[in-house]
Chain A
Amino acid sequence: MPVAVAVATDWSFRAEDVTKVYKGGVRANDGLTLRIEPGEVYGLLGPNGAGKSTLVKQVIGLLAPTSGTLAIGPHDLVAHPEIARQLCSYLPQAQMPIDAFRASEAIELTGRIRGGDRATVRARTDALIDALGVEEWRTAMGLKLSGGVRRLVGFAMAVVVPGRLVILDEPTNDIDPLRRRLLWRQVRALSEQGCAVMLVTHNVLEAEKAVDRLAVVLDGRIVAEGTPSSLKAEDRGRLRLQLMLVPGSDTPATPPWLSSAVRVGNSLVTALDEAHAGHGITWAQGLVDAGIAEEYALGASTLEDAYIRLTGHVSDDDEA
């Protein structure tokens, strides 16, 4: 016989079978199902146009799903967008509109709008400014801030009074490597306090270090989901061979034991079995000698290789 017991609310985020068809028939999300537990940092990876932003905009109530459900804890986000706005904190990919604000003021105002009390918001603002290494811009006007500092201030605004679900869309854009690490530390601090964190990015190498689990999204569908190591499992025993081609040269024909060759600019990324390492070096060195490639590198496969295999795209690892 079932007995009613008081249980702590399960504050997980759930998307079930979310489909979004835009007017005109574009199917931006096609049956997306995923779950983010409290305390978990979950990466949503995929090339531009994969449908990541469409999902996010449905979660925060800017778009309505064509079908499917979205929920946090006991709350239905589709039926109650006003509740979604309380339960979610959102850092959009676009820069924040803070030209006329001092950095600390923008963070504090956002905290008060989100319902934090004066003392908590002030203390948290100071702590974030210190933790993100932007003390020297505390009273600078937004207009005067560099892109990276502005991004960090935007991050602080998004998390000063965090919701149960924190959505970060490309949070590290424009930020220098040192402060990226500071930002990731704060993301981890959020998850330690029970926030579910949704990290939207197309920077795979960075995501690999920051997330607990991730989904690879392509054409509105999840094509793979798991921990970074589980997604890499299929590439175990494989190596990546990357060539820098001479600018303007044609892509060389690849031997059959090289797989998933993708060229972006002058960089050609391929994968091969460990057993073929010797062949790979000989082949690549031959291209260098022939003046087709400038240099090459052979290394362990990364999450990037799994990503290339799944999506046929190279991620944007401008800084990793």
Chain B
Amino acid sequence: MIATLDAPAWAPATTLRSGAGYWWTGFTWMLRWHLSSLRMWLMLLVMIQALIGVGYVLGFALFFDEIPPAAALWVSTGVPVLNLILLGMLLGPQLVAGVKEQGGYDFLQALPVPLTAAAAAWYVVTLVGGLPGMVITLVAAELRYHPPFAISPLVVPVTLLIVFTGTMIGYALAHAITKPMTTQLITQALVFVAMGFAPILFPAEQMPGWLASVNEWLPLGPMATIMRDTLTDGLITDAGRAYLVVTVWGVACGWLAVRALGRRR
């Protein structure tokens, strides 16, 4: 059949889309899709994030008659990282698992969106869901402890990097694992490990030596280190390695996430 002059505007295209315009269309409209599809949850998500953050910050003081200033500073600078990790690694994958369970995952996967654009859209969604909670947590910490914050402008790129790495780890897991139940179990286990066995709320020196060494290679401890580096002055002396570890994890997991997203079984 040959398309005639009176073919409607919606008739199937004969050309392929490509280049930056194709990427940008996929990114912006996928982002709109996610924001719309999560709009009932996004407010709730921000509130839960804020509750978790504020709860941790206030709750930690209860361990002490009077919280030592050093402990207050570690907690105040660690909980925002915990916020971001929870969001990227726990809620993100669980949302993907939810879509898989409901059905419709195949439909989304079959839409013509470049894989990197799809991953980027998901990253921005996580930022939108995570940043308010983080800011509220920091404000609560300031009001409760008046810790000696020395906030550097670097906090912006560092936050973007932490969210990116956390999101991509979760995104890679969510897409690589076929069974939604397995995804939920693994991510929940990871988060408990993160809270118990990674130096996020306390200095690594307080852990057994071997565990501290392991954590130097894992992303969670270094995430907290670089966040602290931008929020305080003098608390962290040598953060270079931590920046490198988080960046390498981010790049590697970003690559894995895009591969998992495009993988054909």
CA distance A116 to B29 in the complex (A): 11
Asked if A57 is an interface residue, CB under 8 A from chain B, the answer is yes
CB nearest neighbor in B for A22: B265
Asked if A241 is an interface residue, CB under 8 A from chain B, the answer is no
CA distance A86 to B114 in the complex (A): 10
CA distance A82 to B258 in the complex (A): 13
CA distance A151 to B25 in the complex (A): 26
B window 175-197: CB within 8 A of A = none
**A contacts with B, residue count (CB < 8 A):** 54
Q: Determine the chain B residues whose CB is within 8 A of the CB of A124 once the complex forms.
A: 8-10
A window 86-100: CB within 8 A of B = 86-88, 90-92, 94-100
Q: Determine the chain A residues whose CB is within 8 A of the CB of B214 once the complex forms.
A: none
CA distance A175 to B104 in the complex (A): 18
Taking a contact as CB atoms under 8 Å apart, the answer to whether B112 and A63 are in contact is no
Query: What is the CB-to-nearest-CB distance from A144 to chain B, in angstroms, rounded to a whole number?
Result: 13
- Known interface pairs A164-B12, A193-B3; A114-B265 also in contact (CB < 8 Å): no
- Known interface pairs A82-B114, A86-B17; A193-B12 also in contact (CB < 8 Å): yes
Asked if A123 is an interface residue, CB under 8 A from chain B, the answer is yes
Asked if B43 is an interface residue, CB under 8 A from chain A, the answer is no
Q: Determine the chain B residues whose CB is within 8 A of the CB of A39 once the complex forms.
A: 1
Q: Determine the chain B residues whose CB is within 8 A of the CB of A249 once the complex forms.
A: none
**B contacts with A, residue count (CB < 8 A):** 44
Taking a contact as CB atoms under 8 Å apart, the answer to whether A194 and B110 are in contact is no
Asked if B129 is an interface residue, CB under 8 A from chain A, the answer is no
Query: What is the CB-to-nearest-CB distance from A245 to chain B, in angstroms, rounded to a whole number?
Result: 36
Query: What is the CB-to-nearest-CB distance from B80 to chain A, in angstroms, rounded to a whole number?
Result: 28
User: Interface residues of A: mostly helix, strand, loop or mixed?
Assistant: loop
CA distance A8 to B4 in the complex (A): 13
CA distance A195 to B13 in the complex (A): 10
Asked if B26 is an interface residue, CB under 8 A from chain A, the answer is yes
Taking a contact as CB atoms under 8 Å apart, the answer to whether A95 and B38 are in contact is no
Query: What is the CB-to-nearest-CB distance from B76 to chain A, in angstroms, rounded to a whole number?
Result: 35
B window 105-130: CB within 8 A of A = 105-115
CB nearest neighbor in A for B41: A100
Asked if A160 is an interface residue, CB under 8 A from chain B, the answer is yes
CA distance A110 to B113 in the complex (A): 11
Query: What is the CB-to-nearest-CB distance from A92 to chain B, in angstroms, rounded to a whole number?
Result: 5
Taking a contact as CB atoms under 8 Å apart, the answer to whether A113 and B113 are in contact is yes
Taking a contact as CB atoms under 8 Å apart, the answer to whether B14 and A9 are in contact is yes
Asked if B91 is an interface residue, CB under 8 A from chain A, the answer is no
Q: Determine the chain A residues whose CB is within 8 A of the CB of B38 once the complex forms.
A: 100
Asked if A38 is an interface residue, CB under 8 A from chain B, the answer is yes
Taking a contact as CB atoms under 8 Å apart, the answer to whether A85 and B111 are in contact is yes
Q: Determine the chain A residues whose CB is within 8 A of the CB of B22 once the complex forms.
A: 115
Query: What is the CB-to-nearest-CB distance from B15 to chain A, in angstroms, rounded to a whole number?
Result: 10
Asked if A161 is an interface residue, CB under 8 A from chain B, the answer is yes
Q: Determine the chain B residues whose CB is within 8 A of the CB of A86 once the complex forms.
A: 16-17, 112
Query: What is the CB-to-nearest-CB distance from A204 to chain B, in angstroms, rounded to a whole number?
Result: 25
CA distance A115 to B113 in the complex (A): 9
B window 129-154: CB within 8 A of A = none
Q: Determine the chain A residues whose CB is within 8 A of the CB of B12 once the complex forms.
A: 11, 162-164, 193-195
CA distance A193 to B99 in the complex (A): 33
Q: Determine the chain A residues whose CB is within 8 A of the CB of B103 once the complex forms.
A: 92, 94-97
Asked if A68 is an interface residue, CB under 8 A from chain B, the answer is no
Query: What is the CB-to-nearest-CB distance from B128 to chain A, in angstroms, rounded to a whole number?
Result: 15
Interface 0/1 of A91-123, CB less than 8 Å to B:
110111111110001000110111110011001
Q: A62-B265, A92-B110, A193-B8 are in contact. List 18 more A-B contacts (CB 8 A).
A: A11-B14, A57-B106, A63-B264, A86-B16, A86-B17, A92-B107, A95-B102, A96-B107, A97-B102, A97-B103, A100-B36, A100-B37, A101-B37, A109-B33, A113-B111, A119-B9, A162-B10, A162-B11
Residues of B within 8 A of A (CB): 1-3, 7-14, 16-17, 22, 25-26, 29-30, 32-33, 36-41, 99, 102-115, 262, 264-265
27 A-B pairs (CB sep. < 8 Å): A60-B109, A63-B265, A81-B262, A81-B264, A82-B112, A86-B16, A92-B106, A94-B102, A94-B106, A94-B107, A95-B103, A96-B103, A96-B107, A97-B103, A100-B37, A105-B36, A109-B29, A109-B32, A109-B33, A113-B112, A124-B9, A164-B12, A192-B1, A193-B7, A193-B8, A193-B12, A194-B11
